[in-house]
Amino acid sequence: MVLRANRLERITNLVLALLDTPRPLSLREIGDVVAGYPAEQGALRQAFERDKRTLRDGGIPVAVERIGGEDQVGYKILAEDYYLPDLGLEPAEEQALAFAVAAVRIEGDLGRDVLAKLGTRGPGDVPPIAILPSLPALGPLQQAVRVKAVVEFAYRGRRRAVEPYGLLFRSGAWYLVGRDRTSGTGGELRTFRVDRLEGDPVPGDPGGFVPPAGFDVAAELRLAPWSPGPRAGARRGADGTGGSKIDRGGRPGEVTDDDRDVCEVVVEVDVREARAALALVGPGALEARLDDGSVRLRFAVGDEAALVSWVLGCGDAVEVVEPARIRATIVDALARAAGL
């Protein structure tokens, strides 16, 4: 659908009228006074609802209030919903933001629109220092983090309701860390890879939860795809009674990947992949750093298939030392791939 010129004009008129009015306007009043609306009631309502959706998509919510009488509800754009609060930025701070937006390229280039809103001029042509991938879900998720709204989305084939605690870009990907209310009995801390969300996240009302004080997203992120779930080792329920299985979208009682046995693995990683491997498993896994730049890592694995896939993909840069069972699985797969 192409936005016709007269519709943009009508919506602009609607914004001005709803911002300026001291009291909520009924649909009838809107039709009467705002230029560009059809007179017929059905067409008027249809046109208004469409415009309201466009406003919402542009980040401008229309407040609905009860006004009594025949029309029952009225509409208004609240100043606090529309205007950017005064940030009180010093000139040096404006320049620093402008430089950041220019030097860090984020797909979509929306930072530039922010500068425009702040009335700040960009610093011109700056060579990029970092290029970050963007994803449609990041804006809505970030907003949900800011206003503490529970978000719903599908992940690994199951609908989740998650209290979003924070977003982190690590090892080339965006992650959301939060409490998944639909996991376990009291909800579980989970890490979600944002590019694996299935469909758009749907936020609930602001103030839907209270994040734990002093929550450290970077420390709580579980990056490695083979990481055991938080309960897998302890086998205890969040309420301390223990024993219940975690539902991962399967049928009740189905054994899910959180319930697999957890084993401890030792790997040696040579200098080519040492840094990347440490980023995956975290610094706590470092057992030894050898003279040739290689590292010896010890960590828990809940999903063996994921670990095997990673080790194979590292070619001769990573070697599983323990346990012998996984070592044998790797040697077996390599022998088959080598045609032996």
Residues 89-148 that bind other proteins (CB under 8 A): 89-90, 92-97, 99-101, 103-104, 106-119, 121-122, 127-134, 136-140, 142-148
Q: Which of 152, 247, 259, 319 binds other proteins (CB under 8 A)?
A: 319
* DSSP secondary structure string for all residues of 143-211: HHHHHT--EEEEETTEEEEEEEEEEEEETTEEEEEEEETTSTTT-EEEEEEGGG-EEEEEE--TT---P
- Tokens 């220092």, located at residue: 129
Identity of the residue, 240 or 339, whose beta carbon is nearer to other proteins in the bound complex: 339
Identity of the residue, 221 or 244, whose beta carbon is nearer to other proteins in the bound complex: 221
Q: Which of 43, 63, 234, 290 binds other proteins (CB under 8 A)?
A: 63
Residue 87 in the binding site for other proteins (CB under 8 A) = yes
| Binding residues among 192-221 for other proteins as defined by CB under 8 A | 199-201, 203, 205-206, 211, 215, 217-218
Closest CA to 78 of 23, 118, 140, 148: 23
What backbone torsions phi and psi does residue 283 show, to the nearest 5 degrees?
A: -65, -25
Size of the site for other proteins (CB under 8 A): 139
Identity of the residue, 133 or 242, whose beta carbon is nearer to other proteins in the bound complex: 133
* CA atoms in the 13 A half-sphere facing the CB of 101: 21
Residue 34 in the binding site for other proteins (CB under 8 A) = yes
End-to-end CA distance of the chain: give it in Å, rounded. 59
In the beta sheet, which residues pair with residue 132?
Answer: 106
Residue 290 in the binding site for other proteins (CB under 8 A) = no
Spatial CB neighbours of 196, under 8 Å, sequence gap ≥ 6: 155, 156
Q: Which of 38, 59, 186, 242 binds other proteins (CB under 8 A)?
A: 59
- What is the x/- site pattern for other proteins, positions 221-260, by CB under 8 A? ----------------------------------------
